[in-house]
Structure 1
Amino acid sequence: MGKRKKEVIFLGVVVITLLAMLGIQQRQMKQYTEVLGRNVENTSNTAAAASGSAAGAKRQPVVYLTFDDGPSSLTEKYLDILKKHKIHATFFLIGQQVEEMPEIVERELKEGHEIGVHTYTHESCEIYASCQAYYEDVNKVREVLEKRFDYKPQLWRFPWGSANCYIHSYKEEIIQRLGEQNMEYADWNVSAEDSVGSPTVDSILRNVKKDAFRVKDPVVLMHDSGSNQATLDSLEAVITLFEEQGYRFETMSQRENCCHFGQ
């Protein structure tokens, strides 16, 4: 074979080798680019998912409207407003009035509201005479609710709250005894102050606003009695106050932790 021919063959082999190497590099580059693209896409998807999870974790705030001292001559008007706004509230009832107005309690239950115990008489000298007296008083209301409405209340509220001076000597005992019946006491962290002095719509709104947005899961104390016309007149404004801030409304037993003073 001539020298010239050998050189041509050699150059051909070199060219073929170079082209093959170039092809391999191109394929590797394509594969690298595809992998990089997938990694970028996966990273973006992961970031988006994390962002979505973070957004989901930021839950909608919740408020709990509670009414003491009912049922009363005004209760059905309260219920009309709550129904209009598709809101469920918690009513802590007085046993004597339950027996006098059972049809109102039936409506409260039918419309999805929660019922709690607020003693039978609300007379401090009777209900707080001793641990046993208070225990019997709460159970009297519980039995009325169970027998008449087939309803087992999960909550009770001390008249004047769990920090009142009447129960200092037996507070822990009564909490334990009623706890054995699967009942828990419920305080509040926002008060409308609607049973003190001469409340007005303005004063009630002012009192609610004062604490409503500085506490987590606000539990609002209001009163449902025939003398609380100002509370009734302010209810829509109170509801709107929370609705405008994006709150939803639930009953007390739906709260993650029952509201106790000092917590």
Structure 2
Amino acid sequence: MKTFSVRFYRRLILVFLSLLILAPTAVAVRLGMKCGRLEKQLEAVREEPVPRGTGMEETGPSVEPILYQTLYPDLYGTAQLPDRRVRAEDTVYLTFDGSPTANTQRILDILDQYGVKATFFVVGRTDDASLDLMREIVARGHTIGLRSYSESFQTIYSSVEAYLEDFDRIYRLVYETTGVKAEIFRFPAGSVNAYNSGIYQELIAEMLRRNFVFFDWDVTGEDTRVGGVTAQKVEEAVLREMDGKSRGIVMLHDSAGKGAVVDALPRILSELQEKGYGFQPLTAAVMPVIFSYKSAP
């Protein structure tokens, strides 16, 4: 059997110790080289320019915007939203859809009599009388919001692009007529309806991206019934749906053939005031009512 000298064992131990020292060092150097390459790649991503208006400016690398996001580059809201939206107690937000019409002046006068401020979601009527009424809405301290330029739901909701075209027209009409850059709006027939069922998610996302605030409703006068409705029925519907609510966003129509709404208005205001409700116009700071996606047709 072969024997080894003490010198041999000493050398073997030295080799073993050298391996213990050099192996981790080599691994660390290799990892350092990899990390350096990775850091350079990350720096290249950080420095890559990001197109404005995509919502990606602060959150990551550039992405191609959806085509409709590039349309109407000046169509952005100016609303300054608070950290928490206002949810007032014992408050009614009275809203009218479809103004201005021949009924609008009567509505304004009744609201003045009861000391009530409301919200008018207007459409694209451009005759002199209608433009004067838009200015009167603002002059009397009410909120003016946007509904639509056209009243053809099929046209408005034929695509996201078509909706934006219509919205841009009513936005510019209101601004040029009243000097108001409207911050709030209402989707015709509500944010989720039978006309926009294929595009409502894209529409809602795009309008929020453009910093506009929309409001659905949770109380109506049921004034769209086929065959018409009486003032008493409008009043009963509003009072019934407000019963037990601490606040409500009430939707009534200010449109042709809705004289019953005007006739019902004094009783609605007096009854709700007697019940202890106050009235406020909508603003971008108010907690909205928004229809659930689950209610999609």
Contact persistence 2:183–2:284 (CA under 8 A): no
Contact persistence 1:63–1:250 (CA under 8 A): yes
Q: 1:229 aligns with which of 244, 256, 259?
A: 259
Alignment of 1:63-212 (within 5 A): 63-97=92-126, 101-197=130-226, 198-212=228-242
Contact persistence 1:91–1:116 (CA under 8 A): yes
TM-score normalised by length of structure 1: 0.73
Runs of 4+ with deviation above 4 angstroms = 97-100
TM-score normalised by length of structure 2: 0.65
CA–CA separation in structure 2 for the residues paired with 1:98 and 1:180: 32
Contact persistence 1:71–1:97 (CA under 8 A): no
CA–CA separation in structure 2 for the residues paired with 1:185 and 1:99: 28
CA–CA separation in structure 2 for the residues paired with 1:162 and 1:195: 17
Q: For residues 74 and 106 of structure 1, do their structure 2 counterparts lie closer, same or farther at Cα, with a shift above 3 Å needed?
A: same
Partner letter of residue 129 of structure 1?
S
* CA shift for structure 1 position 155: 1.4
* CA shift for structure 1 position 253: 1.2
Q: 1:252 aligns with which of 265, 282, 295?
A: 282
CA–CA separation in structure 2 for the residues paired with 1:68 and 1:228: 11
CA–CA separation in structure 2 for the residues paired with 1:180 and 1:255: 17
Q: For residues 98 and 172 of structure 1, do their structure 2 counterparts lie closer, same or farther at Cα, with a shift above 3 Å needed?
A: farther
Q: For residues 142 and 177 of structure 1, do their structure 2 counterparts lie closer, same or farther at Cα, with a shift above 3 Å needed?
A: same
Contact persistence 2:125–2:131 (CA under 8 A): no
SS at match of 2:269: helix
* Structure having the higher Rg: 1
CA–CA separation in structure 2 for the residues paired with 1:217 and 1:98: 36
Matching residue of 1:19: none
- The farther-off stretch of 217-226 and 70-79 is 217-226
**Percent identical:** 29
Let me know the Cα RMSD of the aligned residues: 1.9
Report how many aligned residue pairs link the two structures.
205
* CA shift for structure 1 position 203: 0.8
Q: For residues 98 and 109 of structure 1, do their structure 2 counterparts lie closer, same or farther at Cα, with a shift above 3 Å needed?
A: farther
Contact persistence 2:216–2:291 (CA under 8 A): yes
CA–CA separation in structure 2 for the residues paired with 1:187 and 1:255: 15
CA–CA separation in structure 2 for the residues paired with 1:119 and 1:143: 11
Matching residue of 2:39: none
* CA shift for structure 1 position 153: 1.1
Contact persistence 2:213–2:284 (CA under 8 A): no
Partner letter of residue 204 of structure 1?
V
Deviations 1:176-209 (A, max 9, x none): 2222332122110001011222110111112112
Partner letter of residue 112 of structure 1?
G
- The farther-off stretch of 90-99 and 122-131 is 90-99
- Tell me, which stretches of 5 or more residues in structure 1 are unaligned? 1-58
Q: For residues 194 and 255 of structure 1, do their structure 2 counterparts lie closer, same or farther at Cα, with a shift above 3 Å needed?
A: farther
Contact persistence 1:157–1:186 (CA under 8 A): yes
Going by fraction, where is helix more abundant, 1 or 2?
1
Matching residue of 1:239: 269
